[in-house]
């Protein structure tokens, strides 16, 4: 069983808040300021996508938002992520990791709720963030790995995750 020191407890709490802030940024702010969450040399593997550097992460989220607007006018899609089973490990004052399950809910429409006829959750997946404390003292993600374990019946999500192609390759 691990024991926390004051230093690791504070670092662990900072990392935990960073995870929650990240998904708030994605869901509420539509990833407008997502670049600041990543190191310059980050690598993100999100299912079939591999993104290198924060500019590719910004482009990934911008493309998802634009697809939602285009395919579901006039309001696009609303999405929220719920995090559970969060486990934070602080390796040192400069390195930490967070492993958790991400449960995503989304449907065409705009908040405020309710959005009717939603298929929820649309995905449940394992996520791992590796953090590095930068020179400015801020934790940033240098490695992101996420994969869906369960997918709901939402055709948009399956298309966005290229799930049908992945399923065919795994058979």
Q: pLDDT, tens digit, for every residue of 86-104?
A: 999 999 889 999 999 999 9
Bridge-based pairing state of the strands 95-108 and 77-90? antiparallel
Per-residue pLDDT band at 169 (split at 50, 70, 90): very low
Give residue-wise pLDDT tens across range 26-67. 999 999 999 999 999 999 999 888 999 999 999 999 988 888
d(Cα 20, Cα 29) in Å, to the nearest integer?
Answer: 13
At 46, phi and psi to the nearest 5?
A: -115, 95
Domains of the chain in sequence order = 6-169 (3.10.450.50)
What secondary structure letter does DSSP report for 17? H
Q: Nearest 10 degrees: CA dihedral of 54, 55, 57, 62?
A: 140
Q: Percent of the chain, pLDDT > 70? A: 91
- Is the omega angle on the peptide bond into residue 112 within 30 degrees of 0, that is, cis? yes
Contact 126, 88 (CB under 8 A): no
pTM score of the predicted model: 0.88
């Amino acid at each position: 069983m691990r024991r926390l020191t004051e230093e690791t407890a504070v670092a662990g709490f900072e990392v935990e808040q960073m995870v929650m802030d990240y998904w708030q940024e994605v869901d509420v702010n539509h990833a407008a300021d997502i670049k600041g969450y990543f190191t310059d040399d980050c690598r993100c593997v999100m299912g079939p996508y591999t993104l290198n550097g924060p500019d590719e992460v910004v482009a990934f989220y911008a493309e998802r938002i634009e697809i939602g607007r285009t395919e579901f006018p006039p309001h696009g899609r609303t999405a929220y992520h719920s995090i559970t089973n969060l486990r934070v490990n602080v390796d040192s004052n400069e390195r930490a990791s967070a492993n958790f399950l991400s449960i995503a809910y989304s449907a065409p429409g705009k908040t405020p709720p309710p959005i009717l006829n939603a298929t929820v959750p649309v995905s449940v997946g394992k996520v791992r963030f590796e953090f590095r404390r930068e020179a400015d003292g801020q934790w940033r993600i240098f490695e992101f790995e996420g994969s869906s374990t369960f997918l709901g019946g939402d055709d948009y999500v399956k298309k966005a995750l290229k799930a049908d192609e992945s399923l065919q390759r795994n058979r």
